[in-house]
Amino acid sequence: VTPAAPARAGAAPPPVEWDGRRLSVLDQRVIPRAELVVELASASDVANAIRSLVVRGAPLIGVVAGYGMAIAAADDPGDDALAAAAAALRSARPTAANLEWAVDRVLAAALAVAEDERAAAARGEAEAIEAENAAAGAAMVQRAVEVLGGARRLLTHCNTGALACGTGGSALTVITAMAQRHPGVHVLVCETRPVLQGARLTTWELAREGMSHELIVDGAAAGLIRAGEVDAVVVGFDRAAANGDVANKVGTYAHALAAAASGIPFVFVGPTSSIDASLSSGDQIAIEERDAAEVRWAGGALVSLPDTPVRNPAFDVTPAELVTALVTERGVARPVNRETIAALLP
Ligand code: MRU
């Protein structure tokens, strides 16, 4: 573990660094208290980092998992070793579609060539995933800025900037791009219990960008929307089904209900690698249940009895009919339904 630069204004340190052989990531569990860079030396290191939220956010999980497979192929390019690495990575977290998508892509690229060429093939495919992801981010941001039009007071949930996505970003990058064009842009940031990606990560990114923002507790969102303080809600997503139902960080569905009740736009922004057309509806999306300790504890303090029974679903599903638009690098689904989602896919 190497200490990185102390917190300061300006561009955030890169969430992932790959030098062709070695992979380092910014440890997102400790931001904003510290900026630590962690080296991940094996596929199992990568799987553990994904599981424990050292790295997180659907697009970034895909990028890092791709590099996990590249490291595995360099360590042992045999069929069994690659299958074991792929299984370990795939099982790290169930909800973000990008994880299995990236693992399967790099695995297929490696298996398509002779054993002595697999390390290079896997590395090339993993690097292509990172490059495509960055390009996708830039393209979706352009489209989403147009979709949001004159909205200036935006509400967001969880963390969807470079920390979650790599260079291109998604929903949060849309907000910062809008702020660069329009001085009046202001963001309400939901803290995003239980592990506070909004409070810890989104505010850290917005402060570095010098953006106008306020942190709110998740429970304040519906009332502020109803009071007319929000023009649009914009968030990322982890997995969209073929019918346009969308899984994202737990709490998103409640914001969508509030937005619909007040008639303001609710917009998802993310890459097509987060769309899983094999699932006919959101009911089939696997929702990760995480450790009870995440709910019993907040900010390092026990906030319940130590053995209080807990439910901790990390995601929820927003039905397509509540979604105004789903913006990707390949286009915009609006309205969101089976036909418009299918039109986004190759
Ligand atoms: O549990 P996390 O922090 O990985 O959850 C992340 C989110 O829910 C993001 O909103 C999502 O990955 C979209 S980022 C484009």
1 pLDDT tier (thresholds 50, 70, 90): very low
Encode 211-235: b = buried (16+ Cβ within 10 Å), e = exposed: bebebbebebbbebbeeeebbbbbb
Model pLDDT, residue 299? 87
Query: What percent of the chain is predicted at pLDDT more than 90?
Result: 94
**Residues 79, 110: contact at Cβ < 8 Å?**
no
Q: What's the rounded mean pLDDT across residues 243-260?
A: 98
Each residue's pLDDT tens digit, 152-162: 999 999 999 99
Question: Cα of 52 to ligand 1 centre, how many Å?
Answer: 14
Residue nearest atom 15 in ligand 1 by C-alpha distance: 236
- Report the predicted TM-score, pTM, of the whole model to 2 decimal places: 0.96
Question: Cα of 89 to ligand 1 centre, how many Å?
Answer: 17
304 pLDDT tier (thresholds 50, 70, 90): very high
Question: Cα of 59 to ligand 1 centre, how many Å?
Answer: 8
Average of per-residue pLDDT values in the chain: 95
6 pLDDT tier (thresholds 50, 70, 90): very low
DSSP 14: P
Each residue's pLDDT tens digit, 325-342: 999 999 999 999 999 999
The catalytic position among 27, 218, 231, 238 is 238
Each residue's pLDDT tens digit, 192-229: 999 999 999 999 999 999 999 999 999 999 999 999 99
Q: Is 19 a catalytic residue?
A: no
Nearest ligand 1 atom to alpha carbon 197: 3
Kindly tell me if the per-residue pLDDT of 4 is higher than 70. Answer: no
Judged by DSSP in three states, 333 sits in strand
**Residues 241, 279: contact at Cβ < 8 Å?**
yes
Ligand 1 pocket mutation, candidates 56, 202, 274, 276, criterion most atoms within 8 A of CB:
56
One-letter amino acid of 292: A
Question: Cα of 122 to ligand 1 centre, how many Å?
Answer: 26
Ligand 1 pocket mutation, candidates 158, 167, 175, criterion most atoms within 8 A of CB:
158
Angle at 43 between CA 41 and CA 48, to 5 degrees: 90
Is 167 or 21 the better-scoring residue by pLDDT?
Answer: 21
Model pLDDT, residue 84? 98
Model pLDDT, residue 55? 98
**Residues 16, 25: contact at Cβ < 8 Å?**
yes
Ligand 1 pocket residue status of 59, Cβ below 6 Å: yes
Alpha-helix runs per DSSP H in 149-268 = 162-165, 171-181, 197, 203-209, 221-226, 252-262
Ligand 1 pocket residue status of 238, Cβ below 6 Å: yes
